[in-house]
Structure 1
Amino acid sequence: MHLSIFSFTCLIFCTSAYANPQPKLTHTTLEAKLDNGLKVIIREDRRSPMVMTQIWYTVGSRDESGNLSGISHVLEHMMFKGTSKVPNDEFTRLSRLYGGSVNAATFTNYTNYYQLYQKDFLALALELEADRMSNLVLRQQDFDTEVKVVMEERLQRIDDNPRALAFERFKWVAYPTSHYRQPVIGYMKNLKALDLEHLKKWYQDWYTPNNAILVIVGDVETKTTLELVKRYFAKIPAKQTPERNDVLEFSHVGYRQLEVRLPVQVPHLYLAWNVHSLATAPNLQDAYTLVIMKNILDSGITSRLHNNLVRKQKIATSVSVSYDSYSRGDNLFSISALPVNGVPLQDIEKALLSEIEQLKNTPVTSDEINRVITRHVADLIYSQDDIAGQARSIGTLEVNGLSHRILDQLPQHYAAVTPEDIQRVANTYFNRDNSSSMYILPEQEK
C-alpha cells in the first residue's frame, strides 16, 4: 500500500492581495492506495459530527458504444436494488433508519455515489458501499422496472424539452469525434434494446476497486478511518478494465452550423468553440485563463454580456456562458442567448461575436480582471465550505485525472492570469474555423 499524508490549507483571500494569501483553516488530509488499486482520500473536518463518503467510478457515458448508450445511468439505478447480504431495497431503508442521506449521479466521465451519516455510522456506510461494489444482485424484475424509470427520465428531461433535445443534437456538431457527444441518459432506442446481460457485463467490467476513488470528509481521524476502509475494501480483488474511449477532439476543422425547428415559443442561439481542459491543455495557463474569461463574460448582472446585451442594447433577455476546466478530455466554451421578442438571432450572434473580438483586440483593464478574479476565488472557497462541497471538489478532480492537491493552488493560478493571457487565448481558440453554432427556431405553421 502506498501512503502519503499532507496538510491541506483552505485559503481565504483578502481582495486586495492575491500574491500573499493568508491561511484560515487547515484540514489534515490522508491519501492512500490499497493493494487492490482503490485510491482513498480522507480529510478531517470536525466542525460538525458528520461524515460524507463518496465513491467515484471512472466510467460514464463516454465509455459507452452507440448500442449501449445509457447503460451507465441504468446501472446507477440498479446499484440501489440490493445484494445477497442487503437484499431488495434494504440499502435505502437502512440509510433512513440511521438518519442518513444517499444518492448518486452519472456523468460523461464518472458515476459517483454518496452517503452522509453522523460519524458514528461511518462503518455502516463503508460496509454497504464495499458490499455493492462486488456483490450486487442484478435481477430481471428490477431491471425491467428501472430501465422504464430511465426511459421516463429521458422523456421528461430530453424528448419533452425542446431546448435539451436541440442541445443533444448540437453536441454531434460541436464534437466532431469525441465521445462527449453521447447523452448521459442514453437514446431511447438503445435503452429499449438493453438487456440484463449487458448490464451484468458492464458491472463486471467497470465496478472494481482499481477503477474507483473513495473520498471521505468529516469528523474522522485519518489513520483510524484508513484502517476501517481496509477492513471492508481490501479483500475485493482488482480486475482488468476495458480500454477507455478517446475524448480528445480535433480543433480548427472548420465552421459548423445547425438549424433546428422545434415546438418553442422563443428562438434560442448557441455558440461553441472547441477548447482544452486542465487535463489536455499543452499550456495549463490556457485553462485557467478560459475560466477567468468565462467569468468576465458571465458572472452576474455586472458582467459584460449581461451589461451590454441585456441592459444596454436590450436585444437579449438572458445570456449564459459555460466552460468546464476539470473535464478529462477536450471541452467546449459555449454561449447561449435568448433574444428579446422580434430580435433576429443573427443580430444576437453578431453582438456576441463582437464581444469576443473585443477580448481579442482590447486588453482587459486591471480593475475588471481583479474584480472578476476576486469574485471567482471567493466562490471557489465558499463552494468548499461544507463537507459535501469538499468531497465533491476532491472527487471531481481525481476522477478526471487531476490531483486534488491543486485545490489550494487554484487561487494563485487564477491570480496569475493577465490581460495578455486573455488576448492570447482568445486569438488561439475563438476563431470561426474552430466554432459551431445552432439556431433553435419555432416550428413553422403547417
Structure 2
Amino acid sequence: MDTLCSRMLPCLALAPLLALADPPPTTHEFLLDNGLKVVVREDHRAPLVTSQLWFKVGSADESPGQTGLSHALEHMLYKGSSKTCPGEASAILESLGASENAFTNKDVTAYYQTLPKPYLGVAFELMADLMSTAHLRPEDFTPEIAVIQEERRWSVEDSPLDTAMERLEALAYPSSSYRTPVIGWMNDLHGLNATQLRGWYESRYSPGNATLVVVGDVTLDYVQPLAQRYFGGLPGRAFPQAVKPHELPEPGERRITLNQPVPAPQLIMAINVPSLATADTDRTAHALQLIRMLLAGSQSARLQKRLLHQEHLLSQVDASYNLYSRGDTLLIVRTRLDNSHSATPDKAQSRVWDLFEELRTTPPSIDELERARTQLIAQRVFARDSIESTAQQLVALESIGLSWQLLDQEIAELKNVTPEDIRQTAEKYLIRERLSTAHVLMEKKHG
C-alpha cells in the first residue's frame, strides 16, 4: 500500500499544474462614459452569476481623527435610498434567491451579490441606486454608529489576538496609513457624524473610482446593455486619487509586549515587504508568496516541521502575505507557544529567526521548493472553482492599479521562481531592520 501511495502522490501533485494547460476563460472589459470600468468573465458551468462592485476607498485613505469612515459608510448604504426603504435592497435580493454581502478593508469597500442569471439586472439597479442616491440621514446614523462601536468592542477590544494584531500593525507601519484599523479607533468613532459621511460618499463613490466585475453564466452581449442601462446614466464626478502607502525601506526593529487573557503565550512577527503593486518585479512578490509557503504553508513547512512537530516549542503556527495590497504590506508569522515546555516568546522568536536566516543564506532544495509551489498553485487553482473567488481576484487586481490579466499569468510566474530567487528575496527582506514583533503574554491574575 505504501508503494502504491508513493507512486500516486507525484501524479496528484501534478494535477493542478496540468489543469492549467487549458486557455484562460473568455474575459472582456469595457469602460462606460462616466468612468466605470466593467470586467466580464464567462463561466458557464452553472446558471449563476456573481456581480461585485468595488470602490477604491478604505481605511488607508482616511485622515487622523476620521478613521472608520469607509466602514461606517458601508453600513449606512443599506439604510435607504431614492428607490428603497432601509433594508429593502437586501430583502429584494434575498427574495430572488441571492446571497449578498459587503466588506471594507484597508484598500477597498466592496458590495457583491451571487444570484440566478435572469436577475442580474435587479442587482445592477439596486447597486447603481445605492451608490448614487443613498439617504445617509443623521437620524439613521446615530443608532448605526452605536452598532459599529459595539462591533469594535467585541471584535477587537474583547479579542486578545485581534487587539494584538491592531497594536502590531500600528507599530509595523510607521510611515504608512495602513496602520489605521479598518473599523476605526474608538475615539474617532465617537466623533464621526453624518456630514462627514456625506462628504466621503460624494467624493469617493464616483463611477470612475469603482470597478464592476461580473463572473458566471453570461456573455459580453448580455452584460454590456444592462451595465449601460443601470450604471451608464450616473454622472461622472472628480475623485481623489487613492493613497498608495509606501513604507520606510528599513524602519528599524520594533517590539510591543501585551498582557492578555490568552491560554498560552503568543508570538507574532511582521516583516515589511512589498506587494505585487509595489515590488520591483513581479517575481519578487511571487517569491514572497513561496517564502510564506516554505515557512508555514503546510504541515511539512519549516516552522511546523521543526518547531511544532520536532522541538514542540510551538503548538500552532501560520503565516500570511497580502499579494493584492495597494501599497507595501507585511509578511506575518503567528504562533502559539507550547505551554508544556515552558517556552517563552523570546526563545520562540530566536528559533523562528534561525529559520529565517537559513532561507537568507541557503536556497531551498529543488524538491522542497516544488512541494511548496505545487501546494500554492493548487490553492490558487481550486479557489478559481468558485465564481465569487474568481471575481474577487480579478477585481482586487484592478482595485490596486493593476490589470486583471495578471491573474491568468500568475501560475506561469510562480513556475519561474528559482531557489536562488527565494534566497535573494529572503536576504533582502527577512532582516531585523524590517521586523516588528508582538509578545502576547498570559495575563497574571491578581489577588
After TM superposition, the score normalised by the length of structure 2 is: 0.94
Query: Does structure 1 residue 106 correspond to structure 2 residue 104?
Result: yes
The more displaced of 291-300 and 246-255 is: 246-255
Distance 1:19 1:53 in 2: 28
Give the 3 Å change call, closer, same or farther, for CA 262–28 of structure 1 in structure 2: same
1:59 corresponds to which letter in structure 2?
V
The structure 2 residue matched to 1:257, chosen from 255, 258, 263, is 255
1:399 corresponds to which letter in structure 2?
S
2:353 corresponds to which letter in structure 1?
L
Task: Classify the secondary structure of the residue corresponding to 1:86.
Answer: coil
Residues 268-315 of structure 1, C-alpha deviations (whole Å, 9 max, x = no match): 111121111111111221111000010011122111111101100011
Distance 1:211 1:305 in 2: 41
8 A Cα contact 2:16 2:377, kept in partner:
no
2:369 corresponds to which letter in structure 1?
I
2:7 equivalent in structure 1:
none
2:428 equivalent in structure 1:
428
8 A Cα contact 2:294 2:372, kept in partner:
yes
2:208 equivalent in structure 1:
210
The structure 1 residue matched to 2:148, chosen from 147, 150, 155, is 150
Give the 3 Å change call, closer, same or farther, for CA 218–20 of structure 1 in structure 2: closer
Structure 1: 5+ residue stretches without partners: 1-12
The more displaced of 276-285 and 204-213 is: 276-285
1:196: Cα distance to partner?
Answer: 0.8
The structure 2 residue matched to 1:242, chosen from 240, 243, 250, is 240
2:59 corresponds to which letter in structure 1?
S
1:226: Cα distance to partner?
Answer: 0.6
2:181 corresponds to which letter in structure 1?
P
The more displaced of 100-109 and 241-250 is: 241-250
1:16: Cα distance to partner?
Answer: 5.0
The structure 1 residue matched to 2:265, chosen from 267, 270, 275, is 267
8 A Cα contact 1:18 1:412, kept in partner:
no
Query: Does structure 1 residue 277 correspond to structure 2 residue 275?
Result: yes
8 A Cα contact 1:14 1:21, kept in partner:
no
Distance 2:404 2:318 in 1: 28
Distance 2:87 2:332 in 1: 41
Query: Does structure 1 residue 323 correspond to structure 2 residue 321?
Result: yes
RMSD: 1.8
8 A Cα contact 1:19 1:412, kept in partner:
no
Task: Classify the secondary structure of the residue corresponding to 1:183.
Answer: coil
8 A Cα contact 2:244 2:326, kept in partner:
no
1:34 equivalent in structure 2:
32
- Taking the TM superposition and a 5 Å limit, the aligned residue runs for 1:54-69 are 54-69=52-67
1:351: Cα distance to partner?
Answer: 0.9
Distance 1:391 1:242 in 2: 25
2:189 corresponds to which letter in structure 1?
L
8 A Cα contact 1:38 1:209, kept in partner:
yes
- Taking the TM superposition and a 5 Å limit, the aligned residue runs for 1:274-353 are 274-341=272-339, 342-353=342-353
Give the 3 Å change call, closer, same or farther, for CA 142–345 of structure 1 in structure 2: same
Residues 173-227 of structure 1, C-alpha deviations (whole Å, 9 max, x = no match): 1111100001001111111111111111111010110000001111112123111
The more displaced of 254-263 and 206-215 is: 254-263
The more displaced of 137-146 and 294-303 is: 137-146
8 A Cα contact 2:24 2:408, kept in partner:
no
2:410 equivalent in structure 1:
410
1:354 equivalent in structure 2:
354
1:242: Cα distance to partner?
Answer: 2.4
Distance 1:272 1:97 in 2: 44
Task: Classify the secondary structure of the residue corresponding to 1:250.
Answer: coil
Distance 1:170 1:120 in 2: 46
1:360 corresponds to which letter in structure 2?
R
- Taking the TM superposition and a 5 Å limit, the aligned residue runs for 1:368-383 are 368-383=368-383
Distance 2:310 2:149 in 1: 44
Give the 3 Å change call, closer, same or farther, for CA 178–22 of structure 1 in structure 2: closer
Query: Does structure 1 residue 125 correspond to structure 2 residue 123?
Result: yes
8 A Cα contact 1:33 1:40, kept in partner:
yes
Give the 3 Å change call, closer, same or farther, for CA 129–319 of structure 1 in structure 2: same
- Taking the TM superposition and a 5 Å limit, the aligned residue runs for 1:153-172 are 153-172=151-170
Distance 1:304 1:243 in 2: 41
1:8 equivalent in structure 2:
none
1:154: Cα distance to partner?
Answer: 0.3
After TM superposition, the score normalised by the length of structure 1 is: 0.94
Q: How many equivalent pairs are there?
A: 434
Distance 1:316 1:91 in 2: 47
Distance 1:442 1:102 in 2: 39
Distance 1:126 1:267 in 2: 48
Residues 89-123 of structure 1, C-alpha deviations (whole Å, 9 max, x = no match): 21111112221121100000000000111111111
Distance 1:140 1:232 in 2: 28
1:75: Cα distance to partner?
Answer: 0.7
Distance 1:297 1:166 in 2: 22
Task: Classify the secondary structure of the residue corresponding to 1:271.
Answer: strand
1:29 corresponds to which letter in structure 2?
T
8 A Cα contact 2:16 2:378, kept in partner:
no
